[in-house]
Amino acid sequence: MQIDMLGPLVAHENGILVTPIARKPRQVFSLLALHAGAVVKVPALIEELWGTRPPASALTTLQTYILQVRRGITVALGASHNGPAKDVLRTCYGGYVLDVDPANTDVHAYERLVEAGRQAAEEGDLEAASALQTRALGLWRGDALVDVHAGMRIEMEVARLEESRLGVLEAHLETELRLGRHAGLLPELSALTARHPMHENLWALFMVALHRSGRTSQALEAFIKLRRTLVRELGVEPSARLQNLQHAILRADPEIDVVGAGIPTAAGLGV
């Protein structure tokens, strides 16, 4: 079974779609898929479906949803499978397990690529790091489980994945900056800073890319825009790191233009 969750939920078995249609079975399947190969306890499933106030019939109703998910799997397995669907969605002590190799989920593939990219960056192989980061980000087809009604448990997993996605995107942008591809980053960084108006690291990347592209005045304008937003929304000034970067741009510090470097540090800028 192949399960994709980095976007709309899609699950196939033997080329047949097994994704549940009804809302609650879809939630159950999604939570089990997020923990493919591991037992998900009944209390966790109940909390996902009904929060902290489950109905008296919660356990019986959950069992009904499990049966509905198994029916879809049964159709997909057909005569080519020697065992019933309950061998795929197994009942275990205290819970259920979707007995699918985690490697058959896009979440696992994404996390494997992210780790490989991190290791390549640490080893200084920027070209490999960039390629791996690109492949990892390419697995996303939209917001994670965007078409699944999410309870507390799925919301936490989605938040974790989305935070990881933004972190990988930042790492990729900095890798590209270190490879000297600053000009090509400008459209994406312009859109990202508009979408994340108080995200200092994205603004720092944007400032460096603008400066290296010969658009120093716009780099300084970007700092002013960020400062106004932070003061208006939070009542705080940009961090010392961003202020140091602004000062370095003002005095045309050569450290900013070093190819192979990302966002210059305060130490590197001599401040």
DSSP per residue, 127-190: HHHHHHHHHHHHT--SSTTTTS---HHHHHHHHHHHHHHHHHHHHHHHHHHHTT-HHHHHHHHH
Q: Which of 54-63, 207-216, 226-235, 250-259 has the lowest mean pLDDT?
A: 250-259
pLDDT higher at 75 or 63:
63
Please say if the pLDDT value at position 270 is more than 50. no
Average pLDDT over residues 138-149: 96
Q: 83-137 pLDDT, tens per residue?
A: 577 778 999 989 999 999 999 999 999 999 999 999 999 999 999 999 999 999 9
Q: What is the mean pLDDT of residues 62-76?
A: 88
**Residue 269 reports pLDDT greater than 70:** no
pTM, to two decimals: 0.88
Mean pLDDT of 53-80: 86
C-alpha span between 150 and 50 (Å, rounded)? 11
Query: What token pair was written down for 127?
Result: 């070209």
The residue length of the chain stands at 271
DSSP letter assigned to residue 87: G
pLDDT digits (tens, 9 = 90+) for 246-266: 999 999 888 888 766 556 654
pLDDT surpasses 60 at 220? yes
Structure tokens that stand for 162 in this block: 């989305």
Report how far residue 76's alpha carbon sits from residue 79's, in angstroms, rounded to the nearest whole number. Answer: 9
pLDDT of residue 151: 94
On the question of pLDDT at 271 being above 60, the answer is no
Per-residue pLDDT, 261 = 58
Distant-in-sequence, close-in-space partners of 69: CB < 8 Å, separation ≥ 6: 20, 25, 28, 29, 89
pLDDT at residue 38 tops 80: yes
Check whether 36 has a pLDDT greater than 70.
Answer: yes
Chain Cα centroid distance, residue 92: 30
Please state, rounded to an integer, the average pLDDT across all residues of the chain: 91
* pLDDT tens track for 171-213: 999 999 999 999 999 999 999 999 999 999 999 999 999 999 9
Q: Report percent pLDDT > 90 for the chain.
A: 80
Half-sphere exposure of 164 (CA within 13 A, CB side): 22
pLDDT of 15:
81
pLDDT of 260 reads: 64
Report the pLDDT value the prediction gives residue 14, as an integer from 0 to 100: 78
For residue 102, give both structure tokens.
């985690």
Q: What CA–CA distance (Å, rounded) separates 193 from 230?
A: 13
**H helix intervals, the chain:** 23-34, 42-50, 58-77, 106-122, 126-138, 152-178, 182-195, 200-212, 216-234, 240-250
Q: What type of residue sits at position 14?
A: N
Q: What is the dihedral of CA 12, 13, 15, 20, to 10 degrees?
A: -40
Residue 5 CB neighbour total at 10 angstroms: 26
pLDDT of residue 266: 42
Position with higher pLDDT, 260 vs 69: 69
Contacts of 133 (CB under 8 A, 6+ apart): 113, 114, 117, 168, 171, 172, 175
Residue 157 has pLDDT above 80, yes or no: yes
